[in-house]
Each structure stands twice: as C-alpha cells, then as structure tokens.
Structure 1
Amino acid sequence: MSQKKFEELFESYLQNNLSDAEQQQMMEIIQQGAYDDFLKGKIHDMLKVGNVTDVMDKKQSDDVLNYILSQPQNEPKVVDLNPKRRRKVVLQSLFAAASIALLIALGNSLFFKQETVLPATPKLLEVVAKNTLIDFSGKQLVHLPDGSTVLLNDNSTLKYDQDSFDSKTREVTLTGEAFFDIKHNPQKPFIVHTGKIQTRVLGTAFNINAKNSSDNVEVTVARGKVQVGDTEKIYGVIIPNQQIKVNKTTLNYQQNTISAAVVTEWKSNYLILDDINMAEAVSLISQKYKVQILISNEKIKNCRITASFLNEEDLDHVLKVISSVLETEYRYNKAGAVILDGKGCE
C-alpha cells in the first residue's frame, strides 16, 4: 500500500468511517512498521496542538497501541507480496514502533482522562519553554544532530541540550553503558559526562560503561584516540584496545590493555542496519544468524535500509519485516539457505 493510501486509510479511521475489515487491514499494516515515521509525526502533531480528544478517542489509541506492541503469531515462513514499484526503502522495524507507543501512552495520560483540561499558568509555561534537554532511555540507536551515533545498552540514558549541542562543543551526559561512533570534527570536541569524569574526543569509536551497579567508569577505545579526565586533570589518552578505569568516588584510575571486542560483546545481541544497502544488510544478517542468504535479483542489493532489531528477534521476524517493506518475498531452499526474490531498486 502506498504512503498516500495509508494516510487516507488512517484519516478515515480517525473519523470512524472504516468497516471492521478495513480497520483490521489498517492495524496489520501498522504492525508491519512500514509507516512508523508518519504515525509518530501524526501523534506528535495531535499532542502538540492539544486536541487529541477531538481527533482520536481512547479506544482508538488503545487499539493502535495494542497492535504496535503485539507480536504476530504463527508467522508463515514465506511472505509473498506483489511488488508494485521500485523505490528507495527506509525501514523501521516493529521494535521502532515502541516510540509511537510511548507517544500514544503519553496522549492517554494527558488527554483521555477528562474532556476539560485546566489551563497552565504563565509561570509553568515559562519553565517548560526553557527545558531544552533531549533525553533517550533504554536500548536504542540514537542519531545525534552532528551525524554521530550512540548505541545505548539496556537500563541506560543519554541526555544533551539541543540549544548548545554542536555550538562550540558537542556535549552529552551518560548513565549506564553505550557505544559511541563520533563524527570527526577538530573544531568541536565531543565530550561525554559521566558524573565527575569527562571523556573527550574529536572523532572516534569507543565504549563507556558507567553502570550504577559498578564503582567504576570504564572507557574502552575501539577506534581513534580518547582523552579521559575530570575538570582538574587528564588521566590519560588511550588508543584502540586500551582502557582507563576510574573509581567514581575516589577518582583513582588505572590504564590497561584490553580487547575492545570483548568489552563491546553486548552489541552482538543487537542487529543494526543503519542506512546501508541490502548487500551489506545481508552480510550482517547472515553473520548474526549463521545462515546463507541468496539474492535472486541483483537490483535488490541497491535498496537501502535503516532498521534496528534490539530485542533478539528471530530470523523469520527480521526477514518478514524487511520483505514487507521491500515488497519482496523470501523462502528457504532444501539446503536451508534463504532465497530473497523481488524487483529491487534502481
């Protein structure tokens, strides 16, 4: 279904003009995750203008939320969708729909309890207007405004001020654990704050473990150089496969040689396809699930994908989501290899 037709279908749903069969069809499309960006924008706009009760009732929001969070049962191993057109693909997995779920949940708590909402006082509005912090929580891939990426581990948070970030410096605050891949910019240092400890880089890849359950902050370099210190002194500058461990209380530190691959092994549970072509995506999927994937049409390799699978999804779930958005089909041959068929992209 095209983006335009889905938008028309969703608008009809909001106006209660769909039959039961049409409503079921819409929910199944939502569950596939193909239109997450549209839904997030739509719900965000409704929350922003404060007229959610006029547009979507509580039952509608609950229905959408349940379909986003539900997991289809008895999924067939072969997904057959007739390709309609060639296009560049940007895929958001079903897990990415969790952000929509949060928006809907927020809408329920703010707008569905009562029809009349008391106006906020001018003083409260002033406080809200000054809050420019961006906050990310839980395992997810975060794209920062400068093009850098941060992969957050479970029970972790990342914050930054959207007004000051990427002005003279690029500064964020981390609790928990994350892997940073930072765009090189010698004019604007990237600084990670973990309590009193500061990690400073220009452009590199590194892991920081600052979990509350540990007495230490551990900074490990995978690529480039990283400077670790506090406001008064520099503890050291480390290169790939080196680590600086700092005690959070005493600020005593030590530098060690360690395998960055071992430290970042937690990332192996995640499958990140960050704006890559299908040739690269197939390689990553094959490596993770230890399966051979064959592409029947070379044009499929031209399609680009952005997807994050962070809940240890099985192979069939990943293939079904990808195939539904690429408008292709997949099947298994007798040898157990996956065959991916479709028109592909120009």
Structure 2
Amino acid sequence: MYKKEHKHKKFRYIEEVDRARIVHGKPKPEYLFKYYALSEYSVDALVNGYFYASHPFDLNDVLDSSQFLLYTSKPIDFRIYESFLGNIEEFRNDKDELIKLYNKDTKRENACRYFIDSFWQIGTDKFGLISVAGNGKSTLMWPHYTQERGFQLKFRGSDVEASIQANLGTGTYVGLYPVNYSKKLRQIDVSEYENWYVPLYYATNIKSKRWKYEDEWRFIISRTEMGIPFSKKAFSPRGDALGVEGSRNVSYDRRLIKEVVFGMDYFLGTDFTTERENNRKILTIKKKPDISNYKLHKRLLSYLANDFKGEIYLPVISPLNDHKKAPVLVRRKMQIMLEQISEDSFLLTHTDHVVPL
C-alpha cells in the first residue's frame, strides 16, 4: 500500500489529483518582497512585469531542492519503472531493454539511482519555483541577493498572487508556500509513493535552518516542458533541455509593485557622475568603461522615472540612539523623486519621508 502523505516537523505534504498540497498552518504575509541583483534579466523582469520560475538547478544552495534528498530503502516495483520510463524513446518500443535496465538499477549497489534521477528530471521539467521574502527588513538579504547594487520590489501578497493566477495562461498554479526550515535535511523514501508529487514537493520545500533569516515563501508553478538547465550542474555531460521558450517566465501586473528600493551601492561613481545641489542630485550615466551597465541603468531609470507609479526609495544609514550606550547603526530608506532630464541624465530629489528598512 503506497503512502499519500509525508510529515516533517509541522508540515504535511499531501497527494492530490495531479499535484500535492502543503499544509503548514502559517498565515500568508501581508507583503512580499523580491530581491534582485543588477543584471539584464532582472531589469527586463521588472520592466516587463514577470518573475522567473526557477528550476532546482538554478538555486544558490546545492542542498536546496537537491535530487539527493530522494532515496529508496528497497527495490522499486517494476510497474512504477514502466509507468515513469515506458514512454521514454529508448524504452517505448523495447520492454526487454527496460527490464534489463530494471534488473541492473535495482541492484543494491545502484539503489535505483537511474530511476530516481529520471524521476527528478521528469518532475522538475514541469516545475518552477518563484522565491520571495515575507520580511523586507533583513539586512543580510541585501548583500546576499543584490550585492548592494540591485534593488528590492515590494508587493501586497494577495494582489500579486491573484495576478499570477490570472496571467498564468497555460499551466497550473499550485500555490504559495513557506519554506520548511530544518536542522537536519532528512531524505524521503520514494519507494513508499506511487507518484512523484509528494517526494518532489517535499524535496523542493525543505531547507537548512541556517537560511531562516530569509523568511522565504515560494510560488509553485507547473507547465509542460519548462526545461532543465543541466549546464548549471557540476560535471554534467548533458546539454540543457531548453523546453518551451519563455515557459519559466510568469507574468504579473507590474502596476502592483508598491515600492522599488535601490541597493546602497546602486549609484556608484564607476557608473555615474553626480552633481549635488542641496537635496537634489543630477546623475548622469557613464558610457565608459562599461557600455552594458550604461544600457541597464538607462533602461531601468527611464522606466522608473516615466512609467512607474509606485514609490521609489534610496537606502540611508543612520545612527539610532540607544540611551546610555553608544548609538547603533541601522538601515533606513528615504523616499525620492526621480525625473529624466535628458537621454542619460536624471534628477534625484530627496524627501523628508524616512522609514525603517
């Protein structure tokens, strides 16, 4: 009898028709935050209003959503091999070849690794993760995800979730779930499950508690042929499975962005010249030494100055009085006004609106 549910800590992973459901008991955050490093991809995602639904190989922790979280304590039934692998081209019309593979793969020293790897590839080709933070005030998120040069977006959680569902088109919106932070990353025994849903949802939801400061939530999206970036896996002999072009891009209404906050080092002297006048700065983007950064800054700042309807903030560092002790340095953010005054020059005006970051 196969299991339909897996429990880990206070999370339950429950099989349903064509998917699984994660039960956790945590309220969804009122606001969600997305951190971006400065790149062609992040600027394009902001300007065009979409998120990239990552494959597990895209993630920055090799233990996060790792296929090695899957194992088997015993040989998996041949019927399961036939169900998962029978439609693969090399086995579709050659059952004898599949039996030969089964006999080899289920030996003790192989531990069904071919099956588990194939199971992982089939599942993750239809699976995308959009990582967001439930807390926008973590100091570590800025150096870790923006290198202090990128930006942070703020959304009302319920609005952006509804927008993702409304704009998904083909595919399935699975849900928004918190990451299950754990002291130990326990493997899950795939031999106990007839389908891949529960093991896959568990493996892509558990994460070391050392990452708990992120307060990460993940939108889960499913589409056919989303692609697998094998080249992002060390020593992989395979080229990328490209999938359907754009299938990992998930659109939302960009008017829902409530705030854009620049990183502390966004306006570096290597990229901008600055003319100061009281509470205003005229910033001109340098074309040299890096023309690619010139294009990125121009595209992002032109959009924010001319089309963006939300609030724009610049980080500031200020001391906070601590009564009898020395003041404490804290991050805050100051609202700014941004105006484009020429092709590559922008007027940045400070305001008196300063709030915690």
TM-score by length of 2: 0.24
- The structure whose residues are more often strand, as a share, is 2
Judging by fraction of residues, say which structure has more helix: 1
Bigger RCO (CA 8 Å, 6+ sep)? 2
Q: Structure 1 length normalisation: TM-score?
A: 0.24
